[in-house]
Chains A and B, each alone.
Chain A
Amino acid sequence: AQSVTQLGSHVSVSEGALVLLRCNYSSSVPPYLFWYVQYPNQGLQLLLKYTTGATLVKGINGFEAEFKKSETSFHLTKPSAHMSDAAEYFCAVLNSGYSTLTFGKGTMLLVSP
């Protein structure tokens, strides 16, 4: 069965600093991986996804993630944090079979001025 581990329930950065949110996965098949963002009182919005091909994936709002098979990781980065990036971020893996998603527990990103 697929699973996702997100290291750190909260990450704090200063505005303009590098954002790094960590995600490790476990999958018995080549994984499809996703990052979602959730703003307060809203649903989840897809930031980016990795399916096949290029291992460095660019998403919306300046975020990108790199799939590293040897490390079973899919960390999310952004070179310079904005106040508007403050939200909760979820990493997810697509399950084989029924094509459902398994989510990590989420990482709350806090951005200070």
Chain B
Amino acid sequence: EAGVAQSPRYKIIEKRQSVAFWCNPISGHATLYWYQQILGQGPKLLIQFQNNGVVDDSQLPKDRFSAERLKGVDSTLKIQPAKLEDSAVYLCASSEGQAHSYEQYFGPGTRLTVT
């Protein structure tokens, strides 16, 4: 079974530029999560999708971050404009559905450096 795929693996941008990350969850997984992991900290949930609907985006900085999951499969997370403090690893995870949400499977992450 293929795992969660993310691209790119690494990205370096200047502040005020925009960037987008892509995630392809495990086939059949209805729930998709985006986490932000700042160096030295645990992952922090940014947004949770159930199919193509948003379940929880309470910690997403909506003035600069956006995410979509149009067909209930792949997802894109965008930052526009980026700030220095956005430097982090962005992790995507998926699970079968809310009844089994504790079984989350993580992708390798995208390491973003904002200069």
Chain A interface residues (CB < 8 Å from chain B): 4, 9, 32, 34, 36, 41-46, 49, 51, 90, 92, 94, 98-106
Contacts and interface: CB of A to CB of B under 8 A. Distances in A.
A11 B106 CA distance: 24
A4 to B, nearest CB: 8
B42 A90 contact: yes
Nearest to A98: B56
Given A100-B101, A101-B43, A105-B41, 6 more contacts: A41-B9, A94-B102, A98-B98, A100-B48, A101-B102, A103-B42
B16 interface: no
Interface in B29-71: 33, 40-45, 48, 55-56
B72 interface: no
Contacts of B101: 94, 99-100
A43 B109 contact: yes
B107 interface: yes
Contact of B42 (A49, A99, A100, A105): A105
Pick the 7 closest A-B CB pairs, nearest first. A103-B42, A99-B101, A43-B106, A44-B106, A98-B56, A43-B108, A100-B45
Nearest to B101: A99
Contact of B104 (A9, A98, A101, A104): A101
